[in-house]
Each structure stands twice: as C-alpha cells, then as structure tokens.
Structure 1
Amino acid sequence: MPLTIPAPLSALPFRRTALTLVIASLLVSCSGEKKDDKRPPTQVGYIVAQPSTVPVAVTLSGRTVAYETSEVRPQVTGVIVKRFFTEGTLVKAGQPLYQIDPSLYRAAVNQASADLASARATAEAAGAKAQRYKPLADMEAVAKQDYADALATARSAKASIAQNAATLDTAKINLRFTTVPAPISGRIGRSLITVGALASASQTDSLAVIQRMDPIYVDMQQSAAEITALRRKLAAGGVIPGSTTVHLTFDDGSQYALPGTVRFSEVTVDEGTGTVTLRAEFPNPDGLLLPGMFVSAVFDQANDPNAFLVPQNAVQRDFDGSAYVMVVGADGKAARRKIETNRTNGPNSVVTSGLQRGDKVIVQGLNGLKQGAEIKAVLSTAPQEVKPQSGKPGAAKGH
C-alpha cells in the first residue's frame, strides 16, 4: 500500500497568500469598472417663461328668457265668436287674434252717434236764438236777462256736442276692442280660451301668450363674492377688463353656434341666493333657443396681463396636491419650483405665481428627473432627441 506524503506545512501559507491576491485582483477589477461608470447628464428641453395676457374665463349657469313677452287680454267684455290664429305660429303686431261679439258695442256706437246729432241740432237752435236776442237786448226790446239766458243755453248746447262726441269716440274704441289684436310680434302659444267662452275686461287669466325669441336673453347667475373680488382686482390693476362676448354650451356638451353679448349686470344682490344676475343677448334666427332652457355661459370676464402659459405636461403635482415645475437652476442642474395654477388655456396651464420672466421651464425629458440632477438643457424648439433618464450604462457584471 502506497504511502501518502502530506504537503509540507510551509506550503499552506503560500496557498492562502495566492488566494488572497486573486480575490484582491478581482475586487480591484470590479472597483475599477464602477469608477469608470459615470452617468451622463440627462438631456432636457426647456422653454423660456414670458408673461402673457391671458383671459380669465368664467363659466356661469344661465337660463334663457324671451326678449319680449306679452299676455293677450281682452279690453271689453263679451262672448268669443271666432279665433283667427293657429297655435304655435308666428304672429305680427296688430294681427287679429280673437273676435268678441260686437253687437252691443255696435249699438252703443249708433246711439252715441244719434245723441251727437241731436246735440248739434239743439246747439244750432240755441245759437240762433241768442243771435236774435242780441240786437233786441241792445234796443231794450227784450230784457237783458232773457238775452243772457239764451246765450248760456247756446254755450251749454255746444258743450253737449263735445260730451256726445267723446261718448261716440268711446263707443267706437270699445267696438274696435271687440277684435283682439296681437300686441307684439312673436310666437304665440296655445289658446287659453275657446270659442263660445265669455271674456271679461277684468279677468285675471290671459287669452294667450306671445313671446319674441329673436333675439333672446340669457340670464346668468354669479356670486356676489366673485364679482367683488373681480372689481378689487380691476381697481388694483391686477387684471384688465375682458370681452363681453359670450358663448353658450348645452347640457349635452354641444355649443351654440352664434355668440352673444353681455348687456348689463343687476345692481342688487339676491338675498336668497347671494348672487347677481348678468344678462346677455343672443341672436336666435332659427328658434333653437327656447325660453326657460338651462345653459352654461362662458365668457372672458377679465384679462390677466402677468400670467405665464406652461404646457400642461410640464406641471406636476406633489402628494398634497400642490403644483410644481422643474426648471434649469442657476448651477445648471434641475430644480423644483412650486407654482400656483388653477385653470387652463387650451393645451397650457395658466401659472399665476411662482415663475419669473426668463425662467427656463423644463418641458421635455421629465421622466424620472429629480431635484439636483445633472442635465443638458436645450431649447425645446430646437431639433433634438430628448430621451428619458435611463439606468447605468456599462454596469459592472457580478463576479
């Protein structure tokens, strides 16, 4: 049986030393690769912040109101014998709508005409008598009192002519009122009375209602607090007056094609709602807008001359909901900047606080970009290829 000769004890330290040198060389190799692995700066695109005049648009709920509304009412009492219009159609001012039985009123005209003729005959006789008495009274052939009485009778007869003439005019007016006309032009609704019914001059119910809908009003409600704040900003010069042009949006999201104009604002606040009514006028040639419709009205109530427009994708939010953007810092690194924005304008967010003229707002390459990161900033309008931040290139392989 062969004998196994153990390695000399002096060889063991040599093996340990060799193993240590191999491990150390591997560590040096790995550490050398990490030292050479330096992350390149992230390329980002930026825009230069410049103040702009941005409209301050408001959206108010509103309700359409007819431009003119007239309740058709009878001026005399009588039975309705005819209706001249078709319900729901357009009528013109002065157009006959109803006919009230004119028999009694025609008879009153005839009587007043006869009374007037009688008064004229009486006045003619009284005047002639007074003229005959005048020379006789001068010659004292008749008593002066008789002449005075004849003269007074003649004057009274003339007054009676005027009275009967006024009675005749009244009778003719009442006869004319038996034909009930349209007081305004517009679209008439359903008839609230039928043929054969009794119409009274003192009745509380109307015969029909006519509404003029072209143009048409839209009454909008805005809180008194908002109006007060706007007036303070206008007085302080923070904003300037905007446009009076208004656009309407229906409940289904569609828009009314024709713009309107704000006409006036109420001078009192509704005690129940705390709002002020603003009235706008809209053309309505096709009758698309009907009185009583609920709509949303949008118009530029003011203009902010010191606002900044920043693309919406550049605005980010913290956990607490506050907004911020990334800017190119003075040291050339990425920096967070808190801003205030509460509305948009097209594809941009309107920044009212937090930015200064000339700030470089990063709008491209924001993915994974953090505070203090090394960046290579170029104008976003320049031809470029902005890539999101990636992992470490050439990472060391494990050994």
Structure 2
Amino acid sequence: MTHLIATLSQAVCLTTFLATSAAWAQQPPLPEVDVVTLEAQDITLSSKLPGRIVASGVAEVRPQVAGIITERLFREGSAVEVGDPLYRIDSASYAAQVAAAQASVSLAQVNLRAAERDATRIQTLFERKVASDQNVEDANSTRESMAAALQVAQAQLQAAEIDLEHTTIRAELSGLVGRSLTTRGALVTSGQAAPLAIIRTLDPVYVDVTQSAAELIRARRGLRNAALVAADQTVSLTLADGLAYEHTGLLTAAEPYVDELTGVVVLRLEFPNPDLLLLPGMYVQVELPQGVAKGVILAPQEGVGRDRRGRPIAMVVNADNVVETRDLVTLGDHGAFWIVEDGLETGDRIIVAGLQKIGVGMTVAPVERANPEPKPEPAN
C-alpha cells in the first residue's frame, strides 16, 4: 500500500512538472529593445553660419593731381608699406608752378622790406614834425598790406609744392597691392572715379556672417533666463573645401540693425591670416558659440518622437524594465542628438530601437547600446 502511494505521488509530481514546463514553453519571450543610458553634461550651443571674407583694410589708389602717368613703381601683387611710391605723374608743369610761386614769395619779401623802410622813414619825419598823421597811417597800412601779400605768396608756394609732391602717388595703406588698373601714358585727373590700383590688408581679415533675428533673440533670452551661460567668443572656421581653418577667431562686432528684407543681423569676426590663405570674397562657414547649457542631456534623435500636438516625447525603461513615456523640453539639436533640458536625467535608459513592438507599461528585455560621442556636423 505504501509503495502504491509513493508511486502515485511521483506520478502527480511528474504531471505537475510537465504541465509547468509546457506553460513556460508556451509563454512568449520578452521583447528586446535597444537602450542608451544617459548622463548629464555641459554642452556649448553653436550655430553654423555662412559668411564672406572681407579685407581688414582697403585703400583705392587715386591721383590728387592731373597729368600723364610716366612710370609705375611697384610690382603687381606685391606687399607695400605706407609711403611707398606707386606711380609717377609728369611733373614739369608743377615744377614750373613751384618756381613761379617762389618768385612771387621773393617779390613779396622785397615789397615788404621796402614798405618797412618807408614806414620807418615816415615815422622819423613825423617825430620831427615834418610828416602828418595821415602819412604815418598810409605807410603802416602799406607795410601791413605787403606783409599779408607775403603770406599769400607763401601759401601759394606751399600749395604748389604739395601739388608737385603729389605727382608721385604713394601708398596710404600697408598691405598687398593688386593689379594695376592704368598704364603708362594714361591721362589721370584729380578725384577721378576709377582707381589706379587697390591695396588690401589681409592679416588679419574679417569674416562677415549673417544670423537670423530669431536665433539671436532665442540665444539672448536663454542667457537672460539663465537657461544658458555666456560662452567663450572664440569661433572656428570651415573653408569652401570642407576642411577646418587652423586658426580660431573672435567675435568683434555686431551690427545693431536687422535688415527689413532678409530679417538677419550682420556679425563681424576677426581671424589671423599669416599665410594669406583667406582671400576677400571667399565663402566660408563659421561655428559661432551661442551659450553653454549646464547639466543637460544629449538624447539620440532616434529615441525622441512627437505626440499628437507635436511635442517631443521619449520612451524609457525604468528599474523594473517597464516602459514609461516622458515629455521633454529641448533646447535644440547637437549633431545627431537633441539637447534635453527637462524630462530626462542621469541614469535614464532611453529606448532607441524596437519601439514598434512595445507600449507603455510593458515589461521588456533591454539591451544596452553604447552612446556615441557627439560629433560636429560636416560642412555643406
């Protein structure tokens, strides 16, 4: 009897085990999802803005006197310094004007000395009661008139000498002089519209970029509301070939004016250019810091969706491997990431793959995926 009871007990246990095994065999496995564990960090927000290279100094060489160009004194494309001679104008007529002015000064000096002698003699006669007051006044007036005539002659001499000096056209700016826009034998005039050559200062150079008024307002509001802190004003440059420029620059000025047609503000940056790699008119892209976001989360963009109202949301896996949804507040994008100010925190596991087969409240099997380091976007 005892043996029969033991046999029945074993049979019951075996039946229970088989039933449990069958139940486990019929239960589907938990859905797998790829997750990335997040960590708060400080991120510098920046904007990639288009710009053009501008010379830091430009001087258009023009004549200040009229005449025939007799000689070009520089090599096109070479470096020049302030005061270097560039062109020479035929100076014969201006030398003659100087000689005539010198003669006028000499004549005025002779007349002044004669008037001074006459004034002295009349004064002596007046003291002897021989000349009248009228004679003294006339002599003094003549002397003063001759002194004024001498000053006029000296001024005319100075003007003639200046015109003669201007027959040699000199550089008024240090930099690189371009091609000559005139030739020997050409007639030039004072104040003509067409320059003879153009000198540009290329080290340093300026970069003028345009930023939309909306971006500027957003950045300033972020600083005012303490969402951002001021960033270093050092800026980087990407050239037309897509490669980064080896030197960094600084934001030096911002035009306090928004263009009515385009709605943009012009910003001026300054870059060193010792190798003269940057040339005026060249198209570049500038990475301009807008501010630093403290303690924010970089969420992979594939893990962030939108609700029916267009607001950003994300699905996360909690400590019990249960799916939860989070409403997010973002500050913008950073490469392949969204910068999340609120809604996620350090240690959260955001779901980046497998979202189609899960729902809120489901238990899942999370598989950790390495969170790649954010990289700057390539230049267009």
TM range (shorter): 0.7 to 0.9
Which residue number corresponds to residue 199 of structure 2?
210
Using a 3 Å threshold, how does the CA distance of structure 1 residues 64 and 41 change in structure 2: closer, same or farther? Answer: closer
The size of the alignment, in residue pairs, is 351
Aligned equivalent of 1:199, options 185, 188, 193: 188
1:272 deviation in Å?
2.0
Which residue number corresponds to residue 10 of structure 2?
none
**Higher Cα radius of gyration:** 1
Using a 3 Å threshold, how does the CA distance of structure 1 residues 74 and 44 change in structure 2: closer, same or farther? Answer: closer
> C-alpha distance in 1, partners of 2:313/2:349?
10
> C-alpha distance in 2, partners of 1:279/1:179?
36
1:220 deviation in Å?
0.5
**Structure 2: any 5+ residue segments left out of the alignment?**
1-14, 372-380
Is the Cα–Cα contact under 8 Å of residues 35 and 351 in structure 2 kept in the other structure? yes
> C-alpha distance in 2, partners of 1:209/1:257?
28
Aligned equivalent of 1:373, options 356, 363, 368: 363
Using a 3 Å threshold, how does the CA distance of structure 1 residues 33 and 292 change in structure 2: closer, same or farther? Answer: same
Using a 3 Å threshold, how does the CA distance of structure 1 residues 36 and 226 change in structure 2: closer, same or farther? Answer: closer
Which stretch shifts more, 151-160 or 55-64?
A: 151-160
Is the Cα–Cα contact under 8 Å of residues 326 and 335 in structure 1 kept in the other structure? yes
Using a 3 Å threshold, how does the CA distance of structure 1 residues 380 and 86 change in structure 2: closer, same or farther? Answer: closer
Aligned equivalent of 1:34, options 1, 22, 32: 22
Which residue number corresponds to residue 245 of structure 2?
256
1:251 deviation in Å?
2.6
Which residue number corresponds to residue 329 of structure 1?
318
Amino acid corresponding to residue 85 of structure 1 in structure 2: F
Aligned equivalent of 2:37, options 31, 47, 60: 47
- Please give the per-residue CA displacement for 1:106-135, whole angstroms capped at 9, x wherever unaligned: 011111111101111111111011111112
Is the Cα–Cα contact under 8 Å of residues 55 and 301 in structure 1 kept in the other structure? yes
SS in 1 for 2:114: helix
Is the Cα–Cα contact under 8 Å of residues 333 and 375 in structure 1 kept in the other structure? no
> C-alpha distance in 1, partners of 2:369/2:209?
44
Is the Cα–Cα contact under 8 Å of residues 81 and 173 in structure 2 kept in the other structure? yes
> C-alpha distance in 2, partners of 1:351/1:208?
55
1:295 deviation in Å?
0.9
Which residue number corresponds to residue 117 of structure 1?
106
1:348 deviation in Å?
5.5
1:222 counterpart = 2:222:
no
SS in 2 for 1:195: coil
1:164 counterpart = 2:162:
no
> C-alpha distance in 1, partners of 2:261/2:17?
82
> C-alpha distance in 1, partners of 2:288/2:84?
39
> C-alpha distance in 1, partners of 2:118/2:31?
126
Is the Cα–Cα contact under 8 Å of residues 317 and 366 in structure 2 kept in the other structure? no
SS in 2 for 1:214: strand
Aligned equivalent of 1:350, options 313, 324, 339: 339
1:361 counterpart = 2:349:
yes
Aligned equivalent of 1:131, options 120, 133, 149: 120
Is the Cα–Cα contact under 8 Å of residues 364 and 380 in structure 1 kept in the other structure? no
Is the Cα–Cα contact under 8 Å of residues 262 and 281 in structure 1 kept in the other structure? yes
State the TM-score, normalizing by the size of structure 2.
0.82
Which residue number corresponds to residue 9 of structure 2?
none
Which residue number corresponds to residue 144 of structure 1?
133
Is the Cα–Cα contact under 8 Å of residues 49 and 361 in structure 1 kept in the other structure? no
> C-alpha distance in 1, partners of 2:142/2:196?
49
State the TM-score, normalizing by the size of structure 1.
0.78
CA RMSD of aligned residues (A): 3.2
Is the Cα–Cα contact under 8 Å of residues 65 and 166 in structure 2 kept in the other structure? yes
Is the Cα–Cα contact under 8 Å of residues 48 and 361 in structure 1 kept in the other structure? yes
SS in 2 for 1:66: strand
Is the Cα–Cα contact under 8 Å of residues 80 and 195 in structure 1 kept in the other structure? yes
Is the Cα–Cα contact under 8 Å of residues 313 and 363 in structure 1 kept in the other structure? no
1:77 deviation in Å?
0.5
Which residue number corresponds to residue 235 of structure 2?
246
**Structure 1: any 5+ residue segments left out of the alignment?**
1-26, 382-399
SS in 1 for 2:267: strand
1:319 deviation in Å?
10
- Please give the per-residue CA displacement for 1:166-207, whole angstroms capped at 9, x wherever unaligned: 111101000000000011011111111110010100321111
> C-alpha distance in 1, partners of 2:132/2:329?
107
SS in 2 for 1:241: coil
Is the Cα–Cα contact under 8 Å of residues 112 and 171 in structure 1 kept in the other structure? yes
1:315 counterpart = 2:303:
yes
Aligned equivalent of 2:56, options 56, 67, 70: 67
1:317 deviation in Å?
4.9
Is the Cα–Cα contact under 8 Å of residues 66 and 216 in structure 1 kept in the other structure? yes
Aligned equivalent of 1:283, options 272, 292, 297: 272
> C-alpha distance in 2, partners of 1:374/1:164?
103
Using a 3 Å threshold, how does the CA distance of structure 1 residues 313 and 204 change in structure 2: closer, same or farther? Answer: closer
Using a 3 Å threshold, how does the CA distance of structure 1 residues 238 and 365 change in structure 2: closer, same or farther? Answer: closer
> C-alpha distance in 1, partners of 2:121/2:147?
18
1:331 deviation in Å?
4.2
